[in-house]
Structure 1
Amino acid sequence: MSLIKKPIQVVLIASAILMVMVLVGLIGVSFVMEADIHLWVYIVFPLFVGVVALLLFYYFIERFINQEIKAIYRVISKKKNIKINPVKLNENVFQSLSETTAAWAETQQKQIENLEEQANFRREFLGNLAHELKTPVFSIQGYILTLLEGGLEDETVNRDFLIKASRGVDRITSVLDDLDNISRYEFNRFNLKLTKFDIVRLTKEVFDTTQSSAEEKNITLSLFQNYDPIMVSADKGKIGQVLINLISNSISYGIENGHTQIKFSKVSRKQLSVEIIDDGIGIEEEHFNRLFERFYRVEKSRARNLAGSGLGLPIVKHIMEAHQQSITVNSTVGEGSVFTFTLDLA
């Protein structure tokens, strides 16, 4: 550990050394020249030289240190004209500068990590987006080529192929719509139309919309129990989209002959909790924090075989945040998942 922590210590030591040197010089001159020098000269002259040296050292060292610190801060802040409070030599300048530089280095490291994370995210985003668009395009291309090569005259396949091609178009349209929605949500380019409506009735309407998808895997959609009308205050269209996305998600990752239930609970006099409960494949806890990222897939190799844009949960999150409400997930692998969001009671 260094014993010198403040610049003023250097100035005092240098001045003291100079005073000693002058005193030794005077003694040497008097000895060589056998001159009779008064005692006060031995005291006053070295002291005078020491004081002058102290003032000069203080001025020039303080000026030098301030210029160097200003240059360092200019590099750190990336500003040509920067104002800093002049340091004094009796302050622990080096420790302060060291702490400031360390803080700047930590900030720079975080920025580098953020840039690397953003670069990785862009690569993953573009790769997933290319996959989501490429899959239906290749499917449509295959059906159309088959029809052009003679299948159009075959009444047993032409209508079926056209229907499948139309589904591919619908999937592309769905991806593009979700991209447009997520962009508007992220930049707050939408307005909520708050109304009072019955959330139980809206849920039943969503069941009707998603029933055909559920029947493909023989998944039962139901309410946790019979509920009286529950009035909430929110954007009905946006909350309908939240329910569609969450229920569709539970169907996509559900098991054959499984169940998806909706449960309503009043958590306070002013707030309602809505739970979407399924007995699907479940999600490992390590994925919880990333579930609401765009295109994030828990198991990409298996999930890519499932239809969907990969933007459903991010859209849900933005809608809930716009309502100043929360959404959480709790899940156990092999047992199922529970997505819970809140709404204001009307």
Structure 2
Amino acid sequence: MKLTGREKTELFLEGIVTVVLLLMLNLSIIILINESILTNPGLRDGIFIIKKSIVIGPDHYHLWSWENIFIALMLIFDAAVVYWRLIRRYHQMQLRHIISELHYIANGHLDHRIGFKFKGNTQSVVESINALVESVIKSMDEERAIENSKDELITNVSHDLRTPLTSILGYLGLIQDKQYKSEADLLKYTEIAYLKAKQMKSLVDNLFEYTKVKQTGTPLSINRIDLSQMMEQLVASFELEAKKSGLQISAQGTDKPMHIEADAEKLGRVFNNLISNAIKYGKGGHHIYLACKTGRPGEAVIHVSNDGPKIPKKSLNQIFERFYRVEESRNKDTGGSGLGLAIAQSIIDLHGGYIAVTSDDKLTTFAIHLPFKYGDKLSRPKQDQEPQIAR
């Protein structure tokens, strides 16, 4: 830390005043001791005997002047006092600068940091202050994000509920006003209203599930499960639904058991969401591939892949955000709440894993990374390059 000109002058004057005061103190002590010796013959004779009995060096020099020894000791003491006073004053100046910086930050300049470099504990204090400011800013940003998130949640839920609700009210209004020509029209209007009501129920259920799994204290029912067996069961469960959409679903790498510790019900929800999306948005493709294998040490990797349309690159980083839907998916045929992938990611987070997605003209792959042992936490590589499943 560089001192200002005023502070340098203040430090210099501090040194001068201290030296003058010490010299006056030393002179007073010497005068008092001399007066005591001169007025006390016994003390004078005792000092003389002591000086004669003390010899120094090989030539046996005697100490004939106690004043020289006393002055030397006093000078050493004076130097120590001057040094201590100057260092103390310098630390006070450092503290003054730190307090000034704190006042500047407290006045609303939260982007400012204390840039002074100190030594020892003072530097630790500065680093702690900077870390505290960072923490405050982070907390404020998180609080702001939560508020924005609440507003966004209300807006999205209102929008997604309003659309089917409007349809329900419209068709029920037609039925109430008897604006139908035949029994077939009545059944048609009733069926549409029923389907829209089911869509609303699905959205509410997904929203409830999302808020539940987003809570950090969500309990998990951990058991030892066989991923290979789960893949085979998923293929059997979705085979008919996939066939109706012109898709074939198959599992690879399931010839050997692969056991992990996880919540089977919640993990099943993840795979149901991913496979349902592959069927729903994989129009134009022919296959859905499931595979499980060992990844890095202590890690199981499950792939859910399809050869349907490519996900745009701009959507890959947002696809796990709640209510986000790729623009091509916003149509009356596919619908969707936009919560499925957000729920899947939250469940995998609860298990200490993560989901990565890659998409090109040939294959779209969702890779679920899970620790074999519950309680372990996997770290996401900086650049996830997920290998594609061989077809």
**TM tier relative to shorter chain:** 0.5 to 0.7
Contact 1:258–1:279 (Cα < 8 Å) also in 2: yes
- Rounded Cα–Cα distance in structure 1 between residues aligned with 2:179 and 2:259: 54
Query: Counterpart of 2:102 in structure 1: which amino acid?
Result: Y
Unpaired runs of 5+ residues, structure 2, are 16-85, 108-117, 374-391
Contact 1:11–1:58 (Cα < 8 Å) also in 2: no
Superposed CA RMSD: 4.6
Aligned runs of 1:48-67 on 2, under 5 Å?
A: none
The answer to whether the aligner puts 1:337 opposite 2:364 as a matched pair is yes
Query: Counterpart of 2:218 in structure 1: which amino acid?
Result: F
CA shift in 2, pair 1:71/1:289, >3 Å: same
Aligned runs of 1:145-224 on 2, under 5 Å?
A: 145-150=173-178, 154-207=182-235, 209-210=237-238, 214-215=242-243, 217-224=245-252
- Rounded Cα–Cα distance in structure 1 between residues aligned with 2:169 and 2:160: 15
Query: Counterpart of 2:175 in structure 1: which amino acid?
Result: L
**Superimposed CA distance per residue, residues 30-66 of structure 1 (whole angstroms, 9 cap, x where no aligned partner):** xxxxxxxxxxxxxxxxxxxxxxxxxxx9999987985
SS in 2 for 1:273: strand
Question: How far is 1:246 from its partner?
Answer: 0.7
Aligned runs of 1:1-346 on 2, under 5 Å?
A: 4-5=3-4, 8-12=7-11, 69-70=98-99, 73=102, 76=105, 118=146, 121-150=149-178, 154-207=182-235, 209-210=237-238, 214-215=242-243, 217-224=245-252, 227=255, 230-267=258-295, 271-299=299-327, 302-303=329-330, 305=332, 306-332=334-360, 334-343=361-370
Contact 1:139–1:168 (Cα < 8 Å) also in 2: yes
CA shift in 2, pair 1:272/1:107, >3 Å: closer
Question: How far is 1:275 from its partner?
Answer: 0.5
Query: Counterpart of 2:287 in structure 1: which amino acid?
Result: H
Query: Counterpart of 1:73 in structure 2: which amino acid?
Result: L
Query: Counterpart of 1:150 in structure 2: which amino acid?
Result: K
CA shift in 2, pair 1:114/1:304, >3 Å: farther
How many positions carry a matched residue from both structures?
A: 298
Question: How far is 1:75 from its partner?
Answer: 6.7
- Rounded Cα–Cα distance in structure 1 between residues aligned with 2:100 and 2:167: 62
% identical equivalent positions:
24
**Superimposed CA distance per residue, residues 291-334 of structure 1 (whole angstroms, 9 cap, x where no aligned partner):** 322222343x74365322211112111211222223221222x3
SS in 1 for 2:359: strand
Contact 1:261–1:278 (Cα < 8 Å) also in 2: yes
CA shift in 2, pair 1:15/1:310, >3 Å: same
SS in 1 for 2:184: coil
Question: How far is 1:272 from its partner?
Answer: 3.1
- Rounded Cα–Cα distance in structure 2 between residues aligned with 1:125 and 1:3: 52
Instruction: Considering Cα pairs closer than 8 Å and 6+ residues apart, tell me whether 1 or 2 has the greater RCO.
Output: 1
- Rounded Cα–Cα distance in structure 2 between residues aligned with 1:304 and 1:146: 24
CA shift in 2, pair 1:104/1:284, >3 Å: farther
**Superimposed CA distance per residue, residues 169-223 of structure 1 (whole angstroms, 9 cap, x where no aligned partner):** 2222222122222222221343221223443443344445545653553222222
Contact 1:4–1:10 (Cα < 8 Å) also in 2: no
Contact 1:151–1:157 (Cα < 8 Å) also in 2: no
**Superimposed CA distance per residue, residues 72-109 of structure 1 (whole angstroms, 9 cap, x where no aligned partner):** 5367469xxxxxxxxxxx99xxx999999988887777
2:20 alignment partner in structure 1: none
